[in-house]
Structure 1
Amino acid sequence: MKYQHSETENLKDEITHIESETRMILPGVQTLFGFQLVTVFNDRFAITLNYNEQVLHWGAIACSAVSAILVISPAAYHRLAEPHTASRRFTHFSNLWLKSSLFPLALGCVIDFFLIGIAITKNYVVSGIVSSILFIGFITAWYIFPLLIRRKLP
């Protein structure tokens, strides 16, 4: 497959892309975080999961909260540190925050997926294997594949 030559983005386009990417990530983070919080107040939560599993769920919520902090940080930074400006510093920090938000988001999803697996199968091994495959999928799609492509670009 042959691809067109790529171009360097100008500052305005780069900021537009950061805004679009943030708008794509944020609803997923918010939805996961909301479901994770609501789960704790469900009667079945205390019945189905033991104390250690409940603490693990709390860790998953913490991962989602960290992800939310990182996804929302570019907007907060721009409004407070550099209002009415567009800078390479803003794009640098925004890229860093958005890239960093994906790992805790993946981890929060995988931890809760593991706990759901335990609730359904009552089997730690099966839940662990399937959750590990999901984690590998996240890391491959969000980090490994893009970095491999980046290395091959001219």
Structure 2
Amino acid sequence: MTSLRTRVKNALDEVRILVLGTQVLLGFAYRAFFEPRFERLPARDQGILFASLCLLLAQMGLLLLPAARHRIVEGGRDSEALHRFAMNCAFGALLPFAVVIGLDLVVAVSLTSGRTGLALPIAVVAAALSLWYGIAVLRGPKPQREERIEEMKLEDKIVQVLTEARVVLPGAQALVGFQLAITLMDAYEKLPQALIFLMAPAAYHRIVERGEDTERFHRFASAMVLLALAALPFGFALDLAVVVRKQTGSVADAGIAGAVAMAFFYGLWFVWMIVIRARSR
């Protein structure tokens, strides 16, 4: 039987694969609004691309939830509840991922053929959902494992927290890569903070601890992951506000969109996790 520690690490690695895929689409989704050809798209296609962007943001919120829970609720320990939570987040994030691929294909078909074509997008979405969800449905649910929390060796804790830093990092990379091309955006000054926080543990481990695993380093790395999660919503929200401002010309609409995005991410990653921690005690 696979150990709990291995299953949790595998779950985090699988979440990271999905985050990397989301990173590619998210970087394109933001930049699309500033491409010269975007202005020539019909209003319907512009709306589809905006819906795709919003779905990707929701998906990113889901995918970074396990890292937030592991730090805030579990205190870096592995538990059956954490493993199940990470699997559910990955499972749920696949649905918007498939829908986004379909929406992007609708726009791509429209651009290349000059007419709306739904056959290819629907076929691709159906194939993705069948592959991602159909196999799981056919195999049926596995029996629930006994609830337990596993005390971990220090080196295992450090492996987990560094894995979580790699899970969060692509989210910051997607936005910084976009902002380097659009340097006049308000959020340009915010996202490098998240990258600095996520790169700090590696520097600290090499320079301060000389590569040794210590409890002090584990606490430092955990704090950096949480600080990165605290910085990311500013970038997501401000970038979305810039997109809405460009599309609508309304500062008020841009402010509302940014506020909603910030409330979504902070509510998901921090408020909800703090509530779960309070209830579990």
TM-score, with structure 1 as normaliser: 0.82
Distance (whole Å) between structure 2 residues aligned to residue 121 and residue 95 of structure 1: 40
What percent identity do the matched residue pairs reach? 28
Count of residues in correspondence between the two structures: 137
In structure 1, what is the equivalent of residue 268 of structure 2? 141
In structure 1, what is the equivalent of residue 168 of structure 2? 25
Aligned 1:37-116 pairs, distance under 5 A:
37-40=180-183, 54=184, 57-58=185-186, 60-116=187-243
In structure 2, what is the equivalent of residue 152 of structure 1? 279
In structure 1, what is the equivalent of residue 249 of structure 2? 122
| Corresponding residue SS for 2:149 | coil
Distance (whole Å) between structure 2 residues aligned to residue 92 and residue 36 of structure 1: 31
Distance (whole Å) between structure 2 residues aligned to residue 26 and residue 89 of structure 1: 22
In structure 1, what is the equivalent of residue 159 of structure 2? 16
- Which sits farther off after the overlay, 144-153 or 69-78? 144-153
What code does the residue aligned with 2:196 have? I
Q: CA deviation at 1:121?
A: 0.9
- Which sits farther off after the overlay, 87-96 or 129-138? 129-138
Q: CA deviation at 1:34?
A: 1.0
Distance (whole Å) between structure 1 residues aligned to residue 166 and residue 278 of structure 2: 27
Distance (whole Å) between structure 2 residues aligned to residue 103 and residue 62 of structure 1: 15
**Cα RMSD (Å) of the superposition?**
1.7
Deviation digits for residues 25-45 of structure 1 (CA, Å, limit 9, x no counterpart): 1111112111001123xxxxx
TM-score, with structure 2 as normaliser: 0.46
- Which sits farther off after the overlay, 5-14 or 92-101? 5-14
Structure 1 segments (4+ residues) deviating >3 Å: none
Kept in 1, the 8 Å contact 2:241–2:254? The answer is yes
Distance (whole Å) between structure 2 residues aligned to residue 124 and residue 10 of structure 1: 51
Distance (whole Å) between structure 2 residues aligned to residue 62 and residue 142 of structure 1: 22
In structure 2, what is the equivalent of residue 45 of structure 1? none
Distance (whole Å) between structure 2 residues aligned to residue 127 and residue 66 of structure 1: 23
